[in-house]
Each structure stands twice: as structure tokens, then as C-alpha cells.
């Protein structure tokens, strides 16, 4: 444990915070992440910005709940996000990806993060709101806009807070009304409504959720299905852009698995070892949730130390994933390490661990795999010339400037090397000499 600050918060907005501590090691990670009553989530930015009640409600997802309420809602959401449910939507997911990629033209340049946000929006809005809900993209866009505004308004360094707060209230109020209309549509046409959220809205059980609760879950689940997926895809594609040989091997794996031809059998995609290890290794080195914040809800014991009430704790997957004892050559991108390396859930946790661990992990992995598989077969994405890419933590750990990528046909005989990844992101990654695009 390291004391980072003796008074006041770093990442939460708690006014009476006793100080900030960074916590390391699987034992401490487990202790902090498992006891969600003692090590609670920080209060939402909506409270600290004194937003109206309906806007505070928009972010009252399961992450903000405690005790019995947390257990109950987590259980319901896990049922709705169950693998069998979204596997029933495979054809729709595939259709969404294929339709989006139709606009891609070899030779064109794309802004990678923005493009991945668009793609994730198109695909996730189908899964969540269903194919039959005609305004799914508009609703997803509204959720995205509200999320971006809220993120801006809640950063400690934001300069234009009064104007942002006004926009936030305007967009948030429209979003609240649109989500209520969607939920009423689901309840009014249960035989038509087909998305994951419709399952929640039409629950016919004693624990059926209130409209406020459904609004909050719909907003939080939709944000979670777009932003971290877009950021993960951006990091993975950026890494692959430096590794032409690995891209070829991945294409071969996809081809051999029959994924190219068998547009009907999608479950195979979950069992492709190279695709799987590329994703694991990318999320190890560049996890979108690079750190997690907790606040002690009462004086608490951690290891040999007694912590005061309201003490901010930082748990850091980014650093845990670079522990040389667990991950030899920690800075090197080595997908093959996943053939033998089996770290514990508190040594490798890009999807969190313990009581608040990610309930959307299977869906996220399925979407990421489906999108990468559909992308990697016809196209090569390479950096449009050498680029210095920087990173920032803006809730998520993400690129701070847009990587510009050129779309090429995978079969093209032109050199597929593209530009070299430089800058602060380039310095976070090392590649094996057999397939390295850049030498640092």
C-alpha cells in the first residue's frame, strides 16, 4: 500500500475524504474488491453536480447499489445477460456488423476510436433494444451523447461547467423521456419487443423492476455496451496494426474454423485460441478500466493497517497486469503466454473481480470476437503513416488522440506494414522481434 495523498480525494468527489491509498498485490486486491460493504463505490458525479432527481436516477445502475438490493438486481441482470439469451441473437449481431462494414472502402482513412464507437453503437443497440425497436440507433446515440457530456462535466479540470451542466440537464431530460417511452413500448407489445432490455422490462415476477429502475439499468447497460467495447477494439486493432504476421495467422485461424463461410454458426468463434489469446493479451497490457476506485464506508482493516472511514482506495489492474512474477517479460505483447499462464481473478482482472465484477463480460467478449472476426477477414487496418498516440484516463483508459487508420483489402498485394506506433502508447508496448513493426 502507498499513501498518495493525506487529505482530500484524487478520483472520487468526496468532500470529507480522509486521504488516498494505492493498493497492490492479489491479497489486497481480493480484500478490497470482495467486501463491497466496507469498500464501497464512490458517490456518483450526478450527486456531486447537484443534478435533478431524474438525472441522478439515470446512473443508479447496479454498481451504485448495496446489500440485498445489489444482490437482487445483479441476479436479475445476470439472467437477462445470460449467454443463451444473446447467443439467440447471433444472426442479428452478425447482420449489424456486416451492414456497418458495408460503408468501408479500401483506401479510405478512418478515425479509429470514433469508428469503433459507431460500430459498437450499431451492434449493441440491436442486442439491447432489439431488432423490432425502430428508434434503437437514435436512442443509443442519445445515451452516448449524455455519457460524453456527463464525463466532461464531471472531470475535475473541466472549465466550462455551467454551460455543460445546462446541456447535461437538457440532454438528460430528453433521454429520460425516451427511455420511459421505450419501456412502455416493451410492456405494451411484449410479443414484439425482442432485446435484452425487453426481457427485464417484461419480467412477470414478484421482483419485477420499477420504471425508474428500468430506466437506470437501460442507460447504464447501454453505455457499458458501447464505450468499453469501442475502447477495447481500438486498443486491440492498434496493437494488431503493428503485427502483420500475427494478422495473417489470425486470418488463417478464422478461415480454417470456417467462420468465413459458415455465417450461421457463430458459437465457434468463442473457441478460437489465437483470437482468444490476442484479446486476453491486449486487455492485459491496455485494460480500458485501468484503475478502480473505492471508499471505506467505516474504519476498516486491510492487511496490518487500520484505515479511517472515507478513505479513497485505488486498485490498479494496469499495474497488476505488469507484475513480472505473474507475467514474465511484462511489457511484451505475447499472446502465446495464455496457453500456459492461468492467473487468478485478482491478478488479471480487466473485467473487475469480486462483488462488483462485470456482469456483461460474456456479452462483451462475444461482441469483440464477432467484430474482430468480421473485420480481420476482408480487411487490414494499418496506421496511416507513423503516429504518436498518447493516452489519458477519462473514466476509461483510452487514446487521447485519434489513431488514423487506412483500410486495405486483406488480399491486396500492396505492403500491409503501414505506419509505426509511437508516442506514449508506443512506449507502453514491446513486440517480439519476429513480428515487430517498431523498434523502441
- Locate all alpha helices (DSSP H) within 192-288, ordered by sequence: 196-201, 211-240, 244-256, 273-285
118 vs 224 by CB, closer to ligand HEM: 224
Name the one range near ligand HEM by CB under 6 A: 90-98, 287-295, 302-310, 400-408: 287-295
Name the one range near ligand HEM by CB under 6 A: 185-193, 197-205, 299-307, 359-367: 359-367
Q: How many residues does the chain have?
A: 440
Distance of CA 423 to the CA centre of its chain: 23
Q: Which residue is nearest to ligand HEM (CB)?
A: 360
Kindly state the smallest distance separating residue 364's Cβ from ligand HEM, in Å. Answer: 4
Give the list of residues 6+ apart from residue 222 with CB closer than 8 angstroms, or none: 124, 125, 128, 129, 139, 140, 143
183 vs 173: CA distance, rounded Å: 16
Q: Which helix (H) or strand (E) holds 342?
A: none
Would you count residue 122 as binding ligand HEM (CB under 6 A)? no
Residue with cell 411484449: 190
Q: Footprint of ligand HEM on residues 298-357 (CB under 6 A)?
A: 350-352, 356-357
Q: Which of 288, 335, 418, 419 binds ligand HEM (CB under 6 A)?
A: 288
Q: Which of 31, 164, 179, 292 binds ligand HEM (CB under 6 A)?
A: 292
418 vs 408: CA distance, rounded Å: 10
Nearest one of 163, 81, 161, 160 to 127, comparing CA atoms: 81
Q: Which of 221, 240, 279, 429 binds ligand HEM (CB under 6 A)?
A: 221
Kindly state the smallest distance separating residue 185's Cβ from ligand HEM, in Å. Answer: 20
Name the one range near ligand HEM by CB under 6 A: 59-67, 297-305, 402-410, 426-434: 59-67
Would you count residue 394 as binding ligand HEM (CB under 6 A)? no
**Residue 354: count of CB within 10 angstroms of its CB:** 19
Would you count residue 195 as binding ligand HEM (CB under 6 A)? no
Would you count residue 366 as binding ligand HEM (CB under 6 A)? no
Kindly state the smallest distance separating residue 197's Cβ from ligand HEM, in Å. Answer: 10
Nearest one of 258, 329, 355, 340 to 30, comparing CA atoms: 355
356 vs 361: CA distance, rounded Å: 12
322 contacts 348 by C-beta, under 8 angstroms: no
- Per-residue x/- track, 133-162, ligand HEM (CB under 6 A): ------------------------------
Would you count residue 93 as binding ligand HEM (CB under 6 A)? no
State whether residue 393 is helix, strand or coil.
strand
- Locate all alpha helices (DSSP H) within 16-66, ordered by sequence: 26-34, 45-48, 53-58
Kindly state the smallest distance separating residue 11's Cβ from ligand HEM, in Å. Answer: 11
Q: Which of 29, 232, 241, 384 binds ligand HEM (CB under 6 A)?
A: 232
The C-alpha cell at 232 is 477495447
96 vs 288 by CB, closer to ligand HEM: 288
Would you count residue 364 as binding ligand HEM (CB under 6 A)? yes
221 vs 382 by CB, closer to ligand HEM: 221
**396 to 88, 112, 352, 391: CA distances (angstroms):** 30, 16, 13, 10
* Interface residue list for ligand HEM (CB under 6 A): 61-63, 74, 81, 220-221, 224-225, 228-229, 232, 288-289, 292, 350-352, 356-360, 363-364
Amino acid at each position: 500500500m502507498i499513501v498518495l495523498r493525506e487529505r482530500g480525494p484524487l478520483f472520487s468527489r468526496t468532500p470529507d475524504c480522509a486521504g488516498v491509498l494505492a493498493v497492490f498485490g492479489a491479497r489486497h486486491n481480493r480484500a478490497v474488491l470482495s467486501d463491497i460493504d466496507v469498500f464501497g463505490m464512490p458517490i456518483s458525479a450526478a450527486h456531486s453536480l447537484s443534478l435533478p432527481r431524474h438525472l441522478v436516477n439515470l446512473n443508479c445502475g447496479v454498481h451504485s447499489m448495496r446489500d440485498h438490493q445489489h444482490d437482487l438486481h445483479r441476479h436479475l441482470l445476470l439472467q437477462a445477460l445470460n449467454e443463451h439469451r444473446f447467443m439467440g441473437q447471433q444472426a442479428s449481431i452478425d447482420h449489424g456488423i456486416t451492414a456497418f462494414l458495408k460503408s468501408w472502402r479500401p483506401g479510405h482513412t478512418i478515425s479509429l476510436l470514433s469508428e469503433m464507437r459507431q460500430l459498437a453503437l450499431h451492434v449493441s443497440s440491436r442486442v439491447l433494444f432489439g431488432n423490432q425497436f425502430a428508434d434503437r440507433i437514435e436512442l443509443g446515440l442519445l445515451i452516448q451523447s449524455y455519457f460524453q457530456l456527463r464525463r466532461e462535466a464531471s472531470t475535475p479540470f473541466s472549465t466550462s461547467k455551467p454551460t455543460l451542466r445546462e446541456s447535461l440537464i437538457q440532454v438528460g431530460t430528453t433521454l429520460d423521456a425516451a427511455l420511459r417511452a421505450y419501456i412502455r413500448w416493451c410492456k405494451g407489445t411484449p410479443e414484439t419487443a425482442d432485446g435484452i432490455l425487453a426481457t427485464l422490462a417484461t419480467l412477470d415476477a414478484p421482483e419485477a423492476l420499477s420504471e425508474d429502475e428500468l430506466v437506470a439499468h437501460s442507460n447504464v447497460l447501454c453505455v457499458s455496451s458501447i464505450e468499453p467495447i469501442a475502447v477495447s477494439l481500438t486498443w486491440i486493432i492498434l496493437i494488431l496494426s503493428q503485427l502483420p504476421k500475427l494478422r495473417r495467422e489470425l486470418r488463417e485461424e478464422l478461415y480454417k474454423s470456417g467462420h468465413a463461410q459458415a455465417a450461421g454458426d457463430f458459437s465457434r468463434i468463442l473457441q478460437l485460441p489465437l483470437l482468444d489469446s490476442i484479446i486476453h493479451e491486449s486487455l492485459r497490457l491496455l485494460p480500458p478500466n485501468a484503475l478502480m476506485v473505492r471508499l471505506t464506508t467505516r474504519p476498516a482493516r486491510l492487511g496490518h493497517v487500520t484505515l479511517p472511514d472515507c478513505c479513497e482506495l485505488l486498485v490498479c489492474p494496469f499495474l497488476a497486469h505488469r507484475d513480472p512474477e505473474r507475467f514474465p517479460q511484462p511489457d511484451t505483447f505475447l499472446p502465446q503466454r495464455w496457453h500456459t499462464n492461468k492467473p487468478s481473478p485478482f491478478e488479471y482482472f480487466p473485467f473487475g473481480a469480486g462483488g462488483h465484477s462485470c456482469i456483461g463480460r460474456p456479452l462483451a467478449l462475444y461482441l469483440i470476437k464477432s467484430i474482430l472476426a468480421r473485420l480481420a477477414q476482408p480487411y487490414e487496418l494499418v496506421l496511416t503513416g507513423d503516429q504518436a498516440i498518447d493516452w489519458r484516463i477519462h473514466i476509461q483508459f483510452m487514446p487521447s488522440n485519434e489513431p488514423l487508420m487506412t483500410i486495405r483489402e486483406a488480399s491486396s498485394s500492396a505492403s500491409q506494414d503501414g505506419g509505426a506506433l509511437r508516442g506514449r502508447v508506443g512506449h507502453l508496448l514491446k513486440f517480439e522481434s519476429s513480428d515487430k513493426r517498431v523498434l523502441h
